A and B are shown apart, each in its own frame.
Chain A
Amino acid sequence: GEDVEQSLFLSVREGDSSVINCTYTDSSSTYLYWYKQEPGAGLQLLTYIFSNMDMKQDQRLTVLLNKKDKHLSLRIADTQTGDSAIYFCAESIRRRYSSASKIIFGSGTRLSIRP
């Protein structure tokens, strides 16, 4: 099946770390992505990870992938008010009998920051 699931809301205190979780169902995923959507804007790529890696770090962002459990997480260190947004998890799968990729998104997690 092709399903990506995320919790809808997360609230963290400014300066703390935020951890946004995602589960996916398709074991043929090749790449997994995190996108950010700010109010009134489209989605913007934050980072992605190849399915044979288990961790990727990029400044304040750390992506962890547990392929056995089909679980992806995004950790934002030292969360700031500018990090308030909706974060979307997505997987890229190769369709059967085709080398063309298809991107499946979750419902997004709305991250809010409290002072």
Chain B
Amino acid sequence: ETGVTQTPRHLVMGMTNKKSLKCEQHLGHNAMYWYKQSAKKPLELMFVYSLEERVENNSVPSRFSPECPNSSHLFLHLHTLQPEDSALYLCASSEGLWRSGANVLTFGAGSRLTVL
């Protein structure tokens, strides 16, 4: 399988649950990202990993916990979320952050999260 794959595509959880979103890329990319997409708001960068090291953490609440065990996999662990965390969570990858050319992102289809 090629491209960026996200699972699950849809997730409904209560505020006390613990769940995880998974992202996998088979493109040989070295950088991976989590973005949050909410209606009528700019796409919000949450975390960036480069060669499995976190290089960006955009003031994201600690109830979101990323994990990057290797350059092909990225997780977003969720616990004690709030209803306002309901959104589409998009994973993306790129060849690398340190290239001199355009940094083109390849996105997954997203995980639609609903927090009750």
Contacts and interface: CB of A to CB of B under 8 A. Distances in A.
Interface of A: 4, 8, 31, 33, 35, 40-45, 48, 50, 88, 90, 92, 99-108
Interface stretch (B12-20, B63-71, B73-81, B97-105): B97-105
Query: Is the contact region of chain A dominated by helix, strand, or loop, or is it mixed?
Result: strand
A37 to B, nearest CB: 8
B107 A42 contact: yes
Interface residues of B, number: 29
A8 B40 CA distance: 7
Interface of B: 4, 6, 33, 35, 40-43, 45, 48, 50, 55-56, 90, 92, 97-110
A99 B56 CA distance: 14
Contact of A92 (B102, B109, B110): B102
Given A8-B40, A43-B105, A100-B98, 18 more contacts: A4-B42, A31-B101, A31-B103, A41-B110, A42-B4, A42-B108, A42-B109, A43-B43, A48-B102, A48-B104, A92-B102, A99-B98, A100-B50, A103-B103, A104-B42, A105-B45, A106-B43, A107-B41
A100 B50 CA distance: 10
B55 A100 contact: yes
Nearest to B43: A105
Contacts of B108: 42
